[in-house]
């Protein structure tokens, strides 16, 4: 018997899906295009996958948009990426509102240049009243920096006496993370053929199901996303002894 589709088995739909959007530059290189074309096509893929997640009943989608390691890239590419950040925030607003998507930014995006930061702030503000899928954009994000910030805040609270050392447990640590108001991801998807976490949500994905794909992110569409959900549903059914 085939595993039930997530669309048919509501209990098997992951509540929170995280995605490492990998392979943009390799996609562009394979097509002999500038790297920025891969990033532009990646925006189209994000639009399609966001729709697919909403239609499947996923509540939260967290995507790795710009890591702190990206600052090591060529300055021209970084500049174009930041311009693309502004373009995304402006061009996708209507689509996101039409689909009732609420956007939140995680990471130190305040360190971005003014135009990028302001565009993201407007995107968050203008989608704040939407009540459907929540889209977390990890921008200038590093899981190690997130953990450092959490530990620093915990240490300050312990030093001030507002928190007892004995009260520091996994749940308490989680409450100091950037994702403190959402559950940990049920499923982490990594397209692009690589098999590493790349400093993304290291604390949160301790018990997360992983789905790896050889498809570069710009080509990762609705069908690929649904295959990931079907794989998740099959594994959950096997783990629960219902398959």
Q: Could you tell me which CATH number the domain at 10-142+188-240 has?
A: 3.40.1180.10
Q: Residue 242: its pLDDT value, please?
A: 59
- State yes or no: is 22 an active-site residue: yes
In which element (H, E) is residue 149 found?
helix 143-160
Report how far residue 239's alpha carbon sits from residue 243's, in angstroms, rounded to the nearest whole number: 8
Per the CB < 8 A criterion, the answer to whether 120 and 126 are in contact is no
Which of 130, 85, 91, 87 minimizes the C-alpha distance to 105? Answer: 85
Q: Residue 241: its pLDDT value, please?
A: 73
Catalytic residue among 70, 149, 184, 199: 70
Residues 3-30 have pLDDT tens digits of 444 444 445 899 999 999 999 999 999 9
Q: Residue 6: its pLDDT value, please?
A: 40
Q: Residue 5: its pLDDT value, please?
A: 42
Catalytic residue among 22, 186, 224, 231: 22
Which of 185, 193, 186 minimizes the C-alpha distance to 219? Answer: 193
Contacts of the segment 6-10: beta carbons below 8 A, 24+ positions apart: 6/56, 6/57, 6/226, 6/229, 6/230, 6/232, 6/233, 7/55, 7/56, 7/57, 7/226, 9/233, 9/237, 10/57
Q: Residue 10: its pLDDT value, please?
A: 45
Report how far residue 221's alpha carbon sits from residue 44's, in angstroms, rounded to the nearest whole number: 9
Which three-class secondary structure state does DSSP give residue 238?
helix
Which of 83, 10, 98 minimizes the C-alpha distance to 50? Answer: 98
- State yes or no: is 240 an active-site residue: no
Torsion of CA 143, 149, 155, 156, to 10 degrees: -170
Domain boundaries, the chain: 10-142+188-240
pTM above 0.85, yes or no: yes
Which of 104, 109, 108, 106 minimizes the C-alpha distance to 135? Answer: 104
Q: Residue 171: its pLDDT value, please?
A: 95
Residues 168-184 have pLDDT tens digits of 999 999 999 999 999 99
Q: Judge whether residue 210 has pLDDT over 60.
A: yes
Q: Residue 1: its pLDDT value, please?
A: 35
Mean pLDDT of the chain: 91
Distances (CA, A) of 22 to 15, 27, 174, 212, 222: 22, 10, 26, 11, 16
Residues 31-90 have pLDDT tens digits of 999 988 999 999 999 999 999 999 999 999 999 988 887 777 778 888 888 888 888 898
Residues 214-240 have pLDDT tens digits of 999 999 999 999 999 999 999 999 887
Report how far residue 188's alpha carbon sits from residue 180's, in angstroms, rounded to the nearest whole number: 18
């Amino acid at each position: 018997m085939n595993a039930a589709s997530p669309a048919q088995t509501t209990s098997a739909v992951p509540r929170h899906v995280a995605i490492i959007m990998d392979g943009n530059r390799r996609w562009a290189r394979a097509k002999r295009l500038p790297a920025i074309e891969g990033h532009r096509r990646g925006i189209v893929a994000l639009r399609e996958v966001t729709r697919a997640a909403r239609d499947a009943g996923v509540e939260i989608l967290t995507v790795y948009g710009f890591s702190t390691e990206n600052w090591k890239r060529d300055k021209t590419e970084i500049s174009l990426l930041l311009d693309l950040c502004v373009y995304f925030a402006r061009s996708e607003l209507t689509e996101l509102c039409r689909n009732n998507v609420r956007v939140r930014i995680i990471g130190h995006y305040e360190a971005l240049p003014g135009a990028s930061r302001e565009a993201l702030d407007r995107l968050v503000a203008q989608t704040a009243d939407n009540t459907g899928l929540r889209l977390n954009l990890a921008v200038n994000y590093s899981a190690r920096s997130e953990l450092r910030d959490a530990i620093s805040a915990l240490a300050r609270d312990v030093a001030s006496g507002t928190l007892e050392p004995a009260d520091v447990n996994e749940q308490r640590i989680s409450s100091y993370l950037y994702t403190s108001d959402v559950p940990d991801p049920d499923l982490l998807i990594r397209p692009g053929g690589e098999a590493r976490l790349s400093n993304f949500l290291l604390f949160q994905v301790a018990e997360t199901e992983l789905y790896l794909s050889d498809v570069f992110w710009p080509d990762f569409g609705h069908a690929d996303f649904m295959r990931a959900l079907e794989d998740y549903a099959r594994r959950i059914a096997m783990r629960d002894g219902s398959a």
